[in-house]
A and B are shown apart, each in its own frame.
Chain A
Amino acid sequence: GAGVSQSPRYKVAKRGQDVALRCDPISGHVSLFWYQQALGQGPEFLTYFQNEAQLDKSGLPSDRFFAERPEGSVSTLKIQRTQQEDSAVYLCASSLLDYIGRGQFFGPGTRLTVL
């Protein structure tokens, strides 16, 4: 079966532009996560959805970051008025609903560069 897919794979934005990043999770995966990975660092949690409900958005760095998953499948991470510090790889992961964590499966990521 297909894995997690993300688009676009690369995005270059001018400072101040809005961007939208898309994630298609593995079919049947209830849980969906967004992470941000800076160069040389481990991924940092941004937000978590269980179906269409956003249960945790504690990792979103500012109110310029917004995520949605309106029908409980595809998710979009939107960044408004991008800044240079937003440059990073944005990773989406999905998993079955399982509180001990059988493991999250990551998409290829979107590399965002803000000029």
Chain B
Amino acid sequence: QKEVEQNSGPLSVPEGAIASLNCTYSDRVSQSFFWYRQYSGKSPELIMSIYSNGDKEDGRFTAQLNKASQYVSLLIRDSQPSDSATYLCAVINTGTASKLTFGTGTRLQVTL
């Protein structure tokens, strides 16, 4: 079992809809959770971080964390074609000196 799992997609949503991206992790001591966006041929860009259970909102983005179920999700409201990218879920585990463990990413396509 991979430490961080994501559906590779593509996830296709129409412009203006809500895109829901999911991620599960295996290590119960995972303590910090991140969503990175990566455009094709570019490097990952940090868009959200979340550390405690519940929701965290930033503009059109909402991160949700449920440690009991070991999942973290990202909602993108009012999806735009410019949101089309690969979204990488990453976790930091206690005692690993802040190294990120990434999932393989979910490719999101926002259609006109």
Contacts and interface: CB of A to CB of B under 8 A. Distances in A.
Interface of A: 31, 33, 35, 40-45, 48, 50, 55-56, 59, 91, 93, 95, 98-109
Given A55-B97, A109-B43, A43 B32 contact: no
B97 A104 contact: no
Nearest to A105: B46
Contacts, number: 67
B102 A44 contact: yes
7 contacts: A33-B98, A42-B88, A42-B90, A56-B97, A101-B49, A101-B98, A108-B42
B51 A104 contact: no
Interface of B: 4, 8, 31-32, 34, 36, 42-46, 49, 51, 88, 90, 92, 96-105
Given A91-B44, A104-B46, A98 B98 contact: yes
B38 to A, nearest CB: 9
Given A48-B97, A101-B92, A101-B98, A42 B43 contact: no
A46 to B, nearest CB: 9
B103 A45 contact: no
A91 B46 CA distance: 14
Contact of A106 (B45, B49, B97): B45
Nearest to B42: A108
A98 B32 CA distance: 11
Contacts of B98: 31, 33, 48, 95, 98-99, 101, 104
Contacts of A98: 98
A92 B89 CA distance: 18
B78 to A, nearest CB: 24
B43 A106 contact: yes
Contacts of A102: 49
Contacts of A109: 43
A30 B8 CA distance: 33
